Amino acid sequence: MLGFALRRILVAVGVALTVSVASFMLLHLSGDLATAIAGPEATGEQIVAVRAQHGLDQPLVVQFGAWAWRALHLDFGRSFYFPEQVTDLLAARMPVTLTLGVIALAVALLVAIPLGVLAAFYRDTWLDRAALAVSVLGQAMPSFWFGLTLILIFSVNLRWLPVSGNATWKHFILPAVALGYYAMPAVMRLTRNGMLEVLSSDYVRTARAKGLPPRKILIRHALRNAVIPVIALAAVQFGFMLGGSIVIEAVFSLQGLGQLAWESIARNDFPVVQAIVLVLAMIYIALTLAADLLNALLDPRLRS
């Protein structure tokens, strides 16, 4: 296990490094940084001065080293658009996206796990098929349109929930449902397949033979074992959701990381875009690492 863990951690560090290079290049492909920092009215001499001041006349490798060192200390430089440091901008927006992600994940798990259990228990009945239909439909629905449709139904017609913004907890319900719906199909299918496997195992048969009530078998014996890979998947899905929240935040005008990224892309504020790409990728790498280690800890077959 230790060997596997070390190898897996090494890969994660390598991937993190590769992703940093990619996101560093993103900033440099976006055009001449010195011109961007100096502003539209700068003279040629000023641009040269800015270039020297920010070390932009150094070789790329040296620049990357300096940038990576600062990024490790959570210093992503200054925004081209806002007077603030990029780190402060991110820190201000992060809670909104994390809140959205956590609620969305909770919604997804609370619907998908029971649905998966029921689908496995009532296999090949109408309930199983209905669960399948929900998941097939979930994969086919454009997220932004689903969000807009939720607004039309619950905010405009029924007037139950606010249309947009992030002032109160009520503002998070519709976006969380729209975002969470996308994690549901995968979680449901994994729960169902895991349950089917566990339900046909020897210890469940023994529990049945002992005459334990079905509900007790289902929850205490089967679900407990089937749910572990689901938790690992949920970690990965959480990473995906943080990346995908950009569309949902745009629909609901939630002032989170995604909205900041979208606006920053539109105004070529690449230090901010780069930092968000990097932060989201790092969160994803950490989550998948945790999920892999968790799975390997519980299933020795995966350690090879």
Residues that bind another protein (CB under 8 A): 11, 14-16, 18-19, 22, 26, 29-30, 136-137, 139-145, 148-149, 151-152, 156, 193, 196, 242-244, 246-247, 250, 258, 261-262, 265-266, 268, 273, 276-277, 280-281, 284-285, 288
Q: How far is the CB of 249 from another protein (least distance, A)?
A: 11
Q: How far is the CB of 41 from another protein (least distance, A)?
A: 24
Q: How far is the CB of 38 from another protein (least distance, A)?
A: 20
Side-chain half-sphere exposure of 175, counting CA atoms within 13 A: 34
Per DSSP, what are the bridge partners of residue 78?
85
Residue 41 makes CB contacts below 8 A (sequence gap 6+) with none
Q: How far is the CB of 185 from another protein (least distance, A)?
A: 10
Q: What angle do CA 25, 27, 31 make, to 5 degrees?
A: 105
In the structure encoding, which two tokens stand for residue 202, read together?
């020897």
> Which of 34, 260 has the CB closer to another protein?
260
> Which of 48, 189 has the CB closer to another protein?
189
> Secondary structure of the chain: what % helix, strand, coil (to 5)?
80, 0, 20
Q: How far is the CB of 57 from another protein (least distance, A)?
A: 23
* Whether the Cβ atoms of residue 177 and residue 107 lie closer than 8 Å to each other: yes
- 């270039």: which residue's tokens? 51
> Which of 42, 250 has the CB closer to another protein?
250
Q: How far is the CB of 42 from another protein (least distance, A)?
A: 22
Distance CA 61, CA 28 (A): 12
Q: How far is the CB of 207 from another protein (least distance, A)?
A: 23
> Which of 30, 35 has the CB closer to another protein?
30
Single-letter amino acid code for the residue at 190: L
> Which of 71, 273 has the CB closer to another protein?
273
Q: How far is the CB of 179 from another protein (least distance, A)?
A: 12
Which phi and psi (to 5°) does residue 158 adopt? -85, -20
> Which of 13, 110 has the CB closer to another protein?
13
Q: Residue 230: which of 121, 112, 118 has the closest Cα?
A: 112
> Which of 50, 278 has the CB closer to another protein?
278
Residue 75 makes CB contacts below 8 A (sequence gap 6+) with 85, 87
* Whether the Cβ atoms of residue 139 and residue 185 lie closer than 8 Å to each other: yes
In the structure encoding, which two tokens stand for residue 280, read together?
């989201």
- Structural element, H or E, at residue 265: helix 257-266
> Which of 19, 68 has the CB closer to another protein?
19
